[in-house]
Structure 1
Amino acid sequence: MIINHKKIHRIRKELNLVRNHHYHPNPPRKRPKTHDITKPNLYWESDIKFVPTKYDGHIPILSIIDVFDKSIVGVYIGNSIKAKDFITTLRKVIEYRKVNSEKLIIRTDNGSKFKAKITSAFMKELNITHEFGYKNNPNSQAYIKSFHSSVQYEFVDSIEFDYIEDEYNYYVSYIYFYNNSTWFIKIFNT
């Protein structure tokens, strides 16, 4: 006997074997656009890079880059990175650099740390414009991706790390070399 799938669905519905479908719309996201950056602290990009260690596994490094002068303004290194770690790092960088957060634009990828409700609430609280890059398109975050490419080539591929502490110490030196400045925001979580 051949029965149409629509008839089976109707019969299952009459017998209460079909659940009600709840539509969950995705909230609108601010998509990237081109910006004219004329001075520092107007437009930042952030992303996470995983660096392997011998005994502690792959350690995530959260980096924030200022697109105007290509300097790394904030870094978080820990065994894991959660939305609260991104918020804490961002808050410390804003306080240290005395940034007017209402003029700040931050572009990230679509990772769960960046799309979290507490991240969204934090951005609204400080009136920060939060943009999301396109999926599978590294050009929408070209500056931080380029920096991570440099990290891979100059830092990860040339040094083998045993523990997270080794990675942290080398990374502080690398950022100092990369920025050629004397400051670095130290946030370390083990």
Structure 2
Amino acid sequence: MEFAHEWILEGFPATRVLNIVSVQRSTYYHRLSHTSVKQVKTGGRPIPGYSRTKKGKKVTDTKIKEYLLALIEGEEAVYGYRKLTKSLKKIYQLIINKKKVYRLCKELDILMPQREKKQKHPRKLARNREVTAPNQLWQLDIKYGYVLSSRRYFFLASANDVYDRTIVGHYRGTVCEAKHITKMLQKAVMKRGLHIPDESDTDTPKLIIRTDNGPQFCSNHFRAFCAEQMKVEHERIPPKSPNLNAYIESFHSVLERECYQPNEFITFEHAYKVVDDYIRFYNEKRFHGSLKDDSPHEYYEKWKNNQLKPLKLTM
């Protein structure tokens, strides 16, 4: 009976143990409530006070603490409780879990201090800005499209200038990594005739690229591209705040309604051609209500020729 009770305390199913020792459940629980093996109600099952090796030998918690102290006096001193658990399993052949090792380490006061979680690249949050001309703020985002024949999605990464609404660059493909987006942005910067400011050029304001917190935009590659290669400022919007990227979100909504929904993309090549043609139409011909029914290209040309009244946008 006591043998069965010990195994049940270690976590083995009571029904299975009692069947093995041929003890009725009612007998066991009656004895449990009327004998010295009665459990003390502490809100959970009592701590056994030992673990077993793979060969079934009992090892007391006191002995395990000695093992832990011996480990941290050697090369394992750099280990936290998770790796100490692996060491106990490998070196001493113990059957033990990390929760128990954590408890024993805490009792010995040998827990490693927890490291502070740091973002790889601290996010520069988007804030309200005044935009008074093109090439001051570009918004960038990624949208998906669906190809029927392969039943797969493709990516469309688009960047638009919030002042004249031009889609200054776009990339489409079956994969979308940071390197694809930075190559697209590099072409857009060249097409717009922007120069990379040097350290002595403090008068020219930096182009700001605003994105969400997608993995492409949090990568080392994208950070290096913006900060070191192109000398542009990258800011990311807080989670669940698409209104701070409203212009590119608006374009993707129009794209969905006027390009994706009326077309069934048969192949990737077909999808890419339709998307390319639509973005060309959007930039060069499509009337835009907020641009006084000019196309983005026409509005941009009017700005370059000083044919527009000064305008301030706040976003």
Looking at structure 2, the residues matched to 55 and 80 of structure 1 have their Cα atoms a distance apart, in angstroms, of 17
What's the offset of the Cα at 1:10? 4.4
1:105-164 CA-to-partner distances (Å, cap 9, x unmatched) read 000000000110111011111221101012111101000000000111111111110111
Match of 1:188 in 2: none
Give the paired residue count.
Answer: 181
Looking at structure 2, the residues matched to 14 and 55 of structure 1 have their Cα atoms a distance apart, in angstroms, of 62
SS at match of 2:186: helix
Q: 5+ unaligned residues in a row in structure 1: which ranges? A: 184-190
State the identity %.
35
161-170 or 26-35: bigger deviation: 26-35
2:187 is the counterpart of 1:83: no
What's the offset of the Cα at 1:68? 0.6
Match of 1:50 in 2: 144
1:1-23 CA-to-partner distances (Å, cap 9, x unmatched) read 4379xx99542435799676332
1:26-59 CA-to-partner distances (Å, cap 9, x unmatched) read 2421111122212111110000000011124111
Which of the pair has more CA radius of gyration? 2
| Partner amino acid, structure 1, of 2:214 | G
2:199 is the counterpart of 1:95: no
Which residue, 165, 175, 179 being the options, matches 2:269? 165
Equivalent residues in 2 for 1:54-73, closer than 5 Å: 54-56=148-150, 57-73=152-168
Looking at structure 1, the residues matched to 111 and 168 of structure 2 have their Cα atoms a distance apart, in angstroms, of 53
1:14–1:117 distance in 2 versus 1, CA, 3 Å: same
TM-score by length of 1: 0.85
Give yes or no for contact 1:94–1:101 (8 Å, CA) kept in 2. no
Give yes or no for contact 1:110–1:133 (8 Å, CA) kept in 2. yes
Looking at structure 2, the residues matched to 81 and 91 of structure 1 have their Cα atoms a distance apart, in angstroms, of 16
Looking at structure 2, the residues matched to 47 and 168 of structure 1 have their Cα atoms a distance apart, in angstroms, of 17
1:17–1:58 distance in 2 versus 1, CA, 3 Å: farther
Match of 1:110 in 2: 213
What's the offset of the Cα at 1:96? 1.7
Higher RCO (C-alpha 8 Å, min separation 6) = 1
Query: Pairwise CA RMSD of aligned residues?
Result: 2.7
2:250 is the counterpart of 1:156: no
Match of 2:250 in 1: 146
Looking at structure 2, the residues matched to 13 and 167 of structure 1 have their Cα atoms a distance apart, in angstroms, of 59
Looking at structure 2, the residues matched to 29 and 172 of structure 1 have their Cα atoms a distance apart, in angstroms, of 32
SS at match of 1:40: coil
82-91 or 17-26: bigger deviation: 17-26
Which residue, 121, 125, 131 being the options, matches 1:31? 125
SS at match of 1:22: coil
Which residue, 115, 118, 140 being the options, matches 1:22? 115
Looking at structure 1, the residues matched to 156 and 272 of structure 2 have their Cα atoms a distance apart, in angstroms, of 9
Looking at structure 2, the residues matched to 177 and 108 of structure 1 have their Cα atoms a distance apart, in angstroms, of 24
1:11–1:32 distance in 2 versus 1, CA, 3 Å: same
Give yes or no for contact 1:30–1:132 (8 Å, CA) kept in 2. yes
1:105–1:153 distance in 2 versus 1, CA, 3 Å: same
TM-score by length of 2: 0.53
1:76-96 CA-to-partner distances (Å, cap 9, x unmatched) read 011110011111111111112
Q: 5+ unaligned residues in a row in structure 2: which ranges? A: 1-39, 48-99, 198-205, 286-296, 298-315
| Partner amino acid, structure 2, of 1:36 | E
Instruction: Provide runs of 4+ in structure 1 moved above 6 Å.
Output: 15-19
